[in-house]
């Protein structure tokens, strides 16, 4: 085995040319492996299990970690068959094994020979303690949960600006309701200080006027990655939010403290976006259904009024006094003339009152139909007011960058950058060649 260069061969931070030795990556990795195996060898290590994996080979892979470091561990199938205690995420264990280097990946790890349960993991214990504390304060009770608005026009999102979660959320929101306003509060979603940044973002969005719902979350990850959403500072911020909060952390199987405190829990960020906005076409269909019901109701009311008028006319015809006087016409001819005059006058007055009543009824029916039709048209107009396509058809357009973010100014544009413009009919991509800030300055004045 070739020796490593000694200190006397180092010149100004480099290696002198006559004694310089160049290793391949494989040679150097093997030398490091030999040093670790010889100098460290077999050891006992205690830590918490995370990233537990059991592939079809029968081997078990996991990470052993504490508050500040982590170590890869491999439990081969033969040794795994001798472990009596089932291994699980968050489990605190003591393991005995040989420290080595996995040459292909260039990382050091421990080959586990023996494993013992040393109690519940630190993160799991903290999770259960905080859950019990907040539950005792009533923060999980359904009575304090706030309902989501029926039609959200402005939604706030607390997540990483570069993660998959924000892309999924924007994709769903813009597809279902293109004219919805989205305000992103960019935060780190893992690592030191992330919990406080998330809590501050929730408070800041609550101070912003017009925000009607909040989505707080991130995509999937390990137990450690999701830890900020198990912190008390985030739970308290969600609990004091005046705006309804949807917790969308990880995948469906991931459960965090934020899920318990939030007003609504969504299994994924995409599902959270679906909860925020109802389908626009579903709302249109509902409105059309209501309009059809209204028309049927008015038609039935008009038909019933017409039938009542016919029955009244039939009863008046049966009670016509001229029929009673007809049998005595020969004997009371003189009286008949006087009675005929009186009867005709009475019938004329009743007929006139009947016609007046029919006219009033017809007018009332027409007025009611006009009012209902006006309400229907007003409802349609309000719905169309939210239709971004109506704005585009008036000659406007919508321009976004390559990440589908809406461009409202030229601040972040540079020549050569690609943009996408949506028109009333179709869309096109273009390359920015010239940026004119003159109109922007005029507008700011």
User: In sequence order, what DSSP letters do the residues of 260-328 get, joined into one string?
Assistant: HHSSEE-SSHHHHHHHHS--HHHHHHHHHHHHHHHHHHHHHHHHHHHHHHHHHHHHHHHT-HHHHHGGG
CA distance 156 to 106: 43
pLDDT greater than 90 at residue 161: yes
Task: Tell me the per-residue pLDDT of 424-442, one tens digit each, with 9 for 90 and over.
Answer: 788 888 888 888 876 655 5
CATH of 7-120 given 3.30.70.260, 3.40.50.620, 3.30.420.40, 2.40.50.140 = 2.40.50.140
Average pLDDT over residues 94-115: 89
Task: Tell me the per-residue pLDDT of 15-72, one tens digit each, with 9 for 90 and over.
Answer: 455 567 888 888 888 888 888 888 888 899 988 999 999 999 889 999 999 888 899 9
Alpha helical stretches, state H, 2-120: 25-39, 77-80
Average pLDDT over residues 215-229: 87
Percentage of the chain modeled with pLDDT above 70: 86
pLDDT band at 334 (very low <50, low <70, confident <90, very high): low
Q: Which of 205, 209, 279, 207 is nearest to 246 (CA)?
A: 205
**Residue 229: how many CB atoms within 10 A of its CB?**
29
The DSSP code for 406 is: B
Q: How confident is the model at residue 61, as a pLDDT? A: 93
Q: How confident is the model at residue 156, as a pLDDT? A: 95
Residue pair 363/305 in contact (Cβ under 8 Å)? The answer is no
CA distance 11 to 417: 47
Mean of per-residue pLDDT scores for the chain: 83
| CATH class, 126-274 region | alpha beta
Task: Tell me the per-residue pLDDT of 379-425, one tens digit each, with 9 for 90 and over.
Answer: 887 777 777 777 777 778 888 888 888 888 887 788 888 888 888 78
- Farthest-apart Cα atoms in the chain, separation: 157
216-225, 258-267, 303-312, range with greatest mean pLDDT: 258-267
- Token pair recorded at residue 316: 């008046």
Residue pair 230/127 in contact (Cβ under 8 Å)? The answer is yes
How many residues can be counted in the chain?
445
CA distance 119 to 91: 7
Average pLDDT over residues 176-202: 92
pLDDT greater than 80 at residue 343: no
User: In sequence order, what DSSP letters do the residues of 357-378 get, joined into one string?
Assistant: HHHHHHHHHHHHHHHHHHHHHH
Measured on CA atoms in the order 104, 108, 111, 115, is the torsion positive or negative? negative
CA distance 148 to 263: 8
Q: How confident is the model at residue 286, as a pLDDT? A: 82
Q: Which of 159, 164, 153, 219 is nearest to 186 (CA)?
A: 159
Element counts in the chain: helices (H) and strands (E) = 13, 15
pLDDT band at 214 (very low <50, low <70, confident <90, very high): very high
Q: How confident is the model at residue 433, as a pLDDT? A: 87
Q: How confident is the model at residue 64, as a pLDDT? A: 92
Residue pair 214/242 in contact (Cβ under 8 Å)? The answer is no
pLDDT band at 284 (very low <50, low <70, confident <90, very high): confident
Tokens 């909040």 locate to 214
| More confidently predicted of 277 and 208 | 208
């Amino acid at each position: 085995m070739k020796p490593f260069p000694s200190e006397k061969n180092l010149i100004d931070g480099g290696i002198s040319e006559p004694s310089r030795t160049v290793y391949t990556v494989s040679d150097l990795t093997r030398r490091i492996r030999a040093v670790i195996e010889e100098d460290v060898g077999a050891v006992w290590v205690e830590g918490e299990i995370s990233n537990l994996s059991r592939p079809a080979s029968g081997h078990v892979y996991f990470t052993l970690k504490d508050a500040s470091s982590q170590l890869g561990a491999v439990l081969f199938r033969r040794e795994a068959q001798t472990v009596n205690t089932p291994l699980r995420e968050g489990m605190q264990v003591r393991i005995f094994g040989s420290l080595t280097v996995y040459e292909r990946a260039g990382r050091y790890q421990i080959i586990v020979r023996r494993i013992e349960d040393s109690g519940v993991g630190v993160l799991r214990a903290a999770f259960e303690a905080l859950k019990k504390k907040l539950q005792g304060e009533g923060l999980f009770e359904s009575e304090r949960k706030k309902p989501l608005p029926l039609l959200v026009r402005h939604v706030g999102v607390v997540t990483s600006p570069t993660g998959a979660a924000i892309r999924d959320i924007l994709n769903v929101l813009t597809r279902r309701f293109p004219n919805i306003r989205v305000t992103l509060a960019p935060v780190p979603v893992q690592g030191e200080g992330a919990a406080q940044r998330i809590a501050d973002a929730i408070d800041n969005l609550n101070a912003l006027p017009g925000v009607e719902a909040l989505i707080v979350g991130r995509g999937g990850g390990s137990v450690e990655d999701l830890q900020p959403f198990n912190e008390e500072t985030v739970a308290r911020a969600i609990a004091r939010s005046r705006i309804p909060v949807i917790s969308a952390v990880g995948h469906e199987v991931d459960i965090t403290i934020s899920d318990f405190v939030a007003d609504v829990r969504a299994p994924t960020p995409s599902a959270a976006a679906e909860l925020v906005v109802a389908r626009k076409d579903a709302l249109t269909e509902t409105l059309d259904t209501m309009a059809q019901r209204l028309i049927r109701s008015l038609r039935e009311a008009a038909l019933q009024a017409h039938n009542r008028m016919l029955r009244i006319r039939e009863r008046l015809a049966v009670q016509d006094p001229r029929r009673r006087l007809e049998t005595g016409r020969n004997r009371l001819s003189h009286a008949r003339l006087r009675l005929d005059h009186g009867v005709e006058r009475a019938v004329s007055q009743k007929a006139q009152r009947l016609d007046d009543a029919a006219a009033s009824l017809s007018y009332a029916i027409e007025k009611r139909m006009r009012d209902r039709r006006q309400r229907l048209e007003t409802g349609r107009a309000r719905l169309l007011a939210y239709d971004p396509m109506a704005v585009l058809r008036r000659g406007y357009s919508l321009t976004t960058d390559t990440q589908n973010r809406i461009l409202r100014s030229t601040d972040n544009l540079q020549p050569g950058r690609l943009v996408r413009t949506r028109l009333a009919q179709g869309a096109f991509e273009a390359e920015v060649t010239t940026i004119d800030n003159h109109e922007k300055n005029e507008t700011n004045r």
